[in-house]
């Protein structure tokens, strides 16, 4: 069972780049002659365990005449008509253009299923453009980078239910393409859906907090070391193992390496390393030395993890040394709330890397933070919630005109991101935005994850 995916969008948004990524080495260039290359290209695509036919449309052009543009447009329409799913690409860095809107209209009318993707959104680029794309009315835009391979897991997740639907309908086999298929040794990409990927964890903290002791303890617990892997960057190292039965990959900095004598210089380096490890992690464990908790460095690191949008678990280590545990715990919680308000509600667990006590709590907190980070709230529930919130605390009415919050939807997970369509958003006080974010966190039970809330002005 397979299905046909057409990649459509105006020129230069990155269709061919994505096509090449999905098709990999099995790339099928129909013809190399000028003019012909602008025709539809087909190839066998794969993403995780999904197999499908990909069609790269030449590019949607706004033209009604019989010019090259007109011909291309008809070709595109043909691709749209024949495809089971259309992947509509916009350029996140440019935002929504008139051409995008025009063709969104065509897709809404003609396409069986549309997945909207805002491309060129690597790192945090194009955030605004991606949110703007929501207004195209084609559902939630995925943020992807065709060039860097980001967002492919989200694309996979968007395709799976559709693919299952096609399977259930027992749709006939898509026609064989007359495309030369090279089934070489080279796979398109060694990519697996993230469901099966180990949970990616970074353990960070100031030198001597106990990072290497903790990591070695976790490795020792299960003795299923899958072998160190030369890092994604030269300076960071990751290791795969299981943590109480959960497959994990731990990104470490100095921890797993033989440590040199800790000089000032090395300390600075290892903090920079730690920051890098954060970027690869899903959940960041901020490890504190309970003897000297919440030092400047700890705060900086925790703040960085939050601003990078990672799920955060704070673990106070060396708990075995504490005499008055209840009193200390109270103290820690107070300091945490005061010093890291942006991580409100993040789990704080106490552990002893040396004795192994509390590792079960740490394990549970990591799983929960990861789950919350991936949480999706339905639009219906969100909008009920929004009216209750505005009823309880009406929005301000600067100059006698009330700011209206019309509609809320979740546009993204990992971390959860929400958009509210509103009027006069520039006049909305930060305190009101905080009220909403705190409400989201509390009412939908989302501790331990950053929450992003953006407002889209509707005049
Ligand atoms: P097409 O005309 O839609 O097929 O677009 P192309 O695939 O030819 O890409 C147009 C330009 O955008 C090229 O210069 C690509 O290198 C660039 N591009 C494609 N995808 C990305 C991406 O994810 N990020 C960035 N920064 N550039 C990209
Ligand atoms: P790193 O620099 O963060 O990797 O810290 P290490 O793992 O090297 O630990 C620094 C020191 O703290 C070492 O002497 C460890 O033995 C000690 N240590 C680590 N974890 C614990 C703990 O849970 N309890 C106690 N008492 N000492 C610990």
Which atom of ligand 1 is nearest the CA belonging to 11?
A: 2
Give the integer Cα–Cα distance in Å for 6 and 82: 8
Q: Which residue is closest in CA terms to ligand 2's atom 22?
A: 318
pLDDT digits over 83-115, tens only?
899 999 999 999 898 888 878 888 888 888 999
Q: Is 146 in the pocket of ligand 1 (CB under 6 A)?
A: yes
> Is the overall model pTM greater than 0.90, yes or no?
no
Neighbours of 224 (CB within 10 A): 12
The DSSP bridge partners found for residue 28 are none
Contact 196, 203 (CB under 8 A): no
- 147 in contact with ligand 1, CB cutoff 6 A: yes
What pLDDT does residue 271 have?
A: 55
Q: End-to-end CA distance of the chain, in Å? A: 47
pLDDT band (50, 70, 90) for residue 241: confident
**Looking at residues 22-39, what average pLDDT do you find?**
48
Q: Is 217 in the pocket of ligand 2 (CB under 6 A)?
A: no
Q: What is the pLDDT of residue 263?
A: 40
CB 393 within 8 A of CB 387: no
Ligand 1 atom, smallest distance to 150 CA:
23
Q: What is the pLDDT of residues 321-352, one digit of tens each?
A: 998 888 999 999 999 988 888 787 789 999 99
What was the pLDDT predicted at 270? 53
Report the pLDDT averaged over residues 177-204.
Answer: 51
Residue whose CA lies nearest to ligand 2 atom number 7: 210
Q: What are phi and psi of 345, to 5 degrees?
A: 80, -5
Ligand 1 contacts CB of residue 413 (under 6 A): no
Cβ proximity of 210 and 318 under 8 Å: yes
The C-alpha atoms of residue 274 and residue 266 are separated, in whole angstroms, by: 12
Q: What is the pLDDT of residue 385?
A: 96
Listed range (131-140, 272-281, 422-431) with the worst mean pLDDT: 272-281
Residue 404 has pLDDT above 70, yes or no: yes
Cα–Cα nearest to 202, from 114, 103, 304: 304
Cβ neighbours of residue 337 under 8 Å, at least 6 residues apart? 344
Residue 33 has pLDDT above 50, yes or no: no
Residue 141 pLDDT more than 70?
A: yes
Closest residue (by CA) to atom 10 of ligand 1? 12
Average pLDDT over residues 425-435: 91
Sequence ranges of the binding site for GTP: 9-16, 56-60, 119-122, 205-212, 252-256, 317-320
Among 17, 145, 154, which is best to mutate for testing ligand 1, by the most ligand atoms less than 8 A from CB? 17
Number of residues written out for the chain: 459
The reply to whether ligand 1 has any atom less than 6 angstroms from the CB of 20 is no
Angstrom distance (rounded) from CA 389 to CA 338: 25
Work out which ligand 1 atom sits closest to the CA atom of 13: 3
Q: What is the 3-state secondary structure (H, E, C) of the chain?
A: CCCEEEEECCCCCCHHHHHHHHHHHHCCCCCCCCCHHHCCEEEEEEECCEEEEEEECCCCCCCCCCCHHHHHHHHHHHHHHHCCEEEEEEECCCCCCHHHHHHHHHHHHHCCCEEEEEECCCCCCCHHHHHHHHHHCCCCCEECECCCCECHHHHHHHHHHHHHHHHHCCCCCCCCCCCCCCCCCCCCCCCCCCCCCCEEEEEECCCCCCHHHHHHHHHHHHCCCCCEECCCCCCCEEEEEEECCEEEEEEECCCCCCCCCCCHHHHHHHHHHHHHHHHHCCEEEEEEECCCCCCHHHHHHHHHHHHCCCEEEEEEECHHHCCCHHHHHHHHHHHHHHHCHHHCCCCEEECCCCCCCCHHHHHHHHHHHHHHHCCCCCHHHHHHHHHHHHHHCCCCCHHHCCCCEEEEEEEECCCCEEEEEECCHHHCCHHHHHHHHHHHHHHCCCCCCCCEEEEEECC
Helix 379-392 with 430-443: angle, nearest 10 deg: 130
Lowest mean pLDDT of 18-32, 46-60, 205-219, name the range.
18-32
Q: How confident is the model at residue 393 (pLDDT cuts 50, 70, 90)?
A: very high
For residue 215 the two structure tokens come to 């990591």
Rounded mean pLDDT of 205-210? 83
Q: What's the order of all strands across the beta sheet hosting 199-204?
A: 228-229, 237-243, 246-252, 199-204, 283-289, 311-317, 348-350
Q: Is the pLDDT of residue 246 over 80?
A: yes
Residue 26 has pLDDT above 50, yes or no: no
Q: Which atom number of ligand 1 is nearest to the Cα of residue 20?
A: 7
pLDDT, position 38: 44
Please tell me if the CB atom of residue 15 comes closer than 6 angstroms to any atom of ligand 1. Answer: yes
Residue 276 confidence class, pLDDT cut points 50, 70, 90: low
Best mutation site among 207, 208, 211, 219 for ligand 2 pocket (most ligand atoms within 8 Å of CB)? 208
For residues 254 and 397, which has the higher predicted lDDT (pLDDT)? 397
pLDDT at 255 over 60: no
Q: Which atom of ligand 1 is nearest to the CA of 9?
A: 3
Rounded to the nearest angstrom, the distance between the alpha carbon of 90 and the centre of ligand 1 is 11
Q: What is the mean pLDDT of residues 156-160?
A: 87
Q: Which two tokens stand for residue 141?
A: 């835009």
Is the CB–ligand 1 distance for residue 123 below 6 Å?
Answer: no
pLDDT for 274 equals 64
Say yes or no to pLDDT of 260 above 50. no
């Amino acid at each position: 069972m397979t299905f046909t995916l057409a990649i459509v969008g105006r020129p230069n948004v990155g269709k061919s780049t994505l096509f090449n990524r999905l098709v990999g080495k099995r790339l099928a260039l129909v013809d190399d002659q000028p003019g012909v290359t602008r025709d539809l290209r087909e190839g066998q695509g794969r993403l995780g365990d999904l197999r499908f036919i990909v069609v790269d449309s030449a590019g949607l052009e706004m033209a009604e005449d019989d010019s090259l543009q007109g011909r291309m447009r008809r070709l595109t329409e043909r691709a749209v008509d024949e495809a089971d799913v259309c992947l509509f690409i916009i350029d996140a860095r440019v935002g929504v253009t008139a051409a995008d809107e025009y063709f969104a209209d065509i897709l809404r009318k003609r396409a069986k299923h549309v997945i909207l993707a805002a491309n060129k959104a690597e790192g945090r680029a194009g955030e605004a453009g991606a949110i703007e794309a929501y207004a195209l009315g084609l559902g939630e835009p995925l943020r992807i980078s065709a060039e860097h391979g980001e967002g492919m897991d989200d694309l996979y997740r968007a395709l799976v239910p559709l693919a299952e639907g096609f399977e259930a309908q027992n749709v006939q086999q898509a026609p064989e393409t007359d495309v030369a298929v090279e089934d070489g040794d080279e796979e398109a990409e060694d990519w697996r859906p993230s469901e099966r990927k180990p949970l990616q964890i970074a353990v960070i903290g100031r030198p001597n907090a106990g990072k290497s002791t903790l990591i070695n303890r976790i490795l020792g617990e299960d003795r299923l070391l899958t072998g160190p892997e030369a890092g994604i960057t030269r300076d960071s190292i990751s290791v795969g193992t299981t943590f109480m039965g959960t497959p994990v990959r731990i990104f470490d900095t100095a921890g797993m390496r033989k440590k040199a004598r800790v000089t000032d210089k090395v300390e600075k380096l290892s903090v920079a390393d730690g920051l890098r490890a954060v970027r690869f992690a899903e959940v960041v464990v901020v490890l504190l030395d309970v003897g000297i908790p919440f030092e400047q460095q700890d705060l900086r690191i925790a703040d960085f993890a939050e601003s990078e949008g990672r799920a955060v678990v704070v673990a106070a280590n060396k708990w075995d040394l504490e005499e008055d545990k209840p009193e200390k715990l109270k103290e820690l919680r107070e300091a945490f709330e005061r010093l890291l308000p942006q991580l409100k509600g993040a789990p704080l667990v106490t552990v002893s890397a040396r004795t192994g006590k509390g590792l079960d709590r740490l394990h549970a907190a990591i799983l929960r933070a990861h789950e919350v980070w991936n949480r999706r709230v339905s639009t219906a529930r969100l909008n009920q919630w929004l009216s209750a919130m505005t009823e309880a605390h009406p929005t301000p009415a600067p100059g006698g005109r009330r700011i209206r919050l019309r509609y809320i939807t979740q546009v993204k997970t990992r971390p959860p991101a929400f958009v509210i369509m509103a009027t006069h958003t520039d006049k909305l006080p930060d305190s009101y935005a905080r009220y909403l974010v705190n409400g989201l966190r509390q009412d939908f039970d989302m501790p331990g994850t950053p929450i992003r809330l953006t407002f889209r002005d509707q005049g």
